[in-house]
Amino acid sequence: MRDILNAKLGRRGVLGAGLAGASMLAMPSVLRAQDKSLKVGVYGGFFKDSFDKNIFPDFTKATGIAIESVAEPTGEAWLVQLEQAAKAGAAPADVSMMSQVAMLKGQSTNLWAPLDAAKLPNSKNLIDHFVNKYPDGKIAGIGAVSWYITLVTNTQVYKEAPTSWAALWDKANADKLGLLALVSNSFLLEVTAKTYLGGTKALDTDEGILKALEKLAEVKPNVRLWYRDEAQFEQALKSGEIPMGQYYHDVTGLAASQGSPVRSTFPKEGGIQDSGCWALSRASKKTEEAHTFINYMCQPAIQATLSRKVGTSPTVKRDLLDLTAAEFASVSSDIEPIIPRYDLYQTKSDFLNQKWTEMIAG
């Protein structure tokens, strides 16, 4: 049982290993009828189920390429598997949805086959930072989905919504916060830099990072829970036990729509925008199909469907979307987001982790 919790109970976690099989059984006729096919890795559980139901069948209908979806674990386990398989010339999935840090780590071993922009005409729809490039400018990955981590509050405890991340530092909120426990998933250094140090560029140097950590250490008396397990915080937020913190915008919205007294606020400094990329393993032989798939996913209409059905924030520009204001607000915001400094989690991960752990546990 320890191992199950260990393996990450997260929302994007692997709940769907069994469902992978079940959904494959549901469409064997489609698979047999097509001679072209593509294996696509998607985060197991809610994500994969939603894609299997809302996205992949239409894609097959439109292009004649059958999709075999593969449930992939979050974290870096999938990266390790892809890497080892590629060394042996195999690809457990042709295209996979990868986190930004995993994208960078894969780049360091040339795991990702460079994508051809000419075959991805729809990629011009994307917001620029969703095109992931190798240092030499070749495209390593294309933004698949994004999501926000925002400032969340219990509406019964806080009648007024907070407006700034500075609320985390407010002395009035002593022992009331729930924050993510790890430097690499809370992105609180970026929040601190944006709120107090003039932007995430302040983290370029080690001194800047230490300064941000020092400022962040001031929130410690306010933090009741540093959580790894999302369910623990979500429960406490709903009951008002821990009435403020950082959490996922879409899940909080879903909870509010189901009657829980919670709200998600985009602070004036911006919500934290995290995202996943589509990337092609260099061992894959389905280069053509992969480009067709990624190009298809970059259409504004598909991104709008994802926002409506999966609750993710679109990776294409706002003005191309037919989302209503309310639909857009439920998944995103016009306030400029805080974009995590993924590069730091690759080049300075041990330093950051050490200083962070000393800061919160020391």
Partner 1 sequence: MRREPPQRLADYGPLFFPAGMLTVFFVVPFATMIAVSFFQREQGGFYTPAFVFDNYARFISLFFGKVLGFSLFLAVAVAIACVLIGIPFTYLLSRSARKIQIVWLVVLLSILSLSEVMIGFAWSTLFSRTAGITNLFVWLGLMAQAQALTPSFGAVMTAMTYQAFPYTVLVLYPALVRLDPTLTEAARTLGASPVKAFFTVVVPALRNTILATLIMVFIFALGSYLLPQLLGRPQHWTLSVLITDQAIYQSNMPFAAAMAVFLVLVSLALVGLALYAGQQRQAK
Binding region for partner 1 (CB under 8 A): 1-2, 4-6, 8, 75-76, 80, 83, 104-105, 108-109, 175, 181-182, 184-185, 224-226, 228-229, 232, 236, 239-241, 346-350, 353-354, 357-358, 360-362
* Closer by beta carbon to partner 1, 5 or else 335: 5
Tell me the Ramachandran region of residue 215: left when phi exceeds 0, alpha when psi lies from -120 to 50, beta otherwise: alpha
CB of 252 to partner 1, least distance (A): 19
* Closer by beta carbon to partner 1, 109 or else 205: 109
CB of 360 to partner 1, least distance (A): 4
* Closer by beta carbon to partner 1, 237 or else 280: 237
CB of 98 to partner 1, least distance (A): 14
CB of 45 to partner 1, least distance (A): 18
* Closer by beta carbon to partner 1, 164 or else 260: 260
CB of 118 to partner 1, least distance (A): 31
CB of 5 to partner 1, least distance (A): 5
* Closer by beta carbon to partner 1, 110 or else 324: 110
Quick check: 273 and 108 in contact, CB under 8 A?
Answer: no
CB of 304 to partner 1, least distance (A): 33
* Closer by beta carbon to partner 1, 128 or else 350: 350
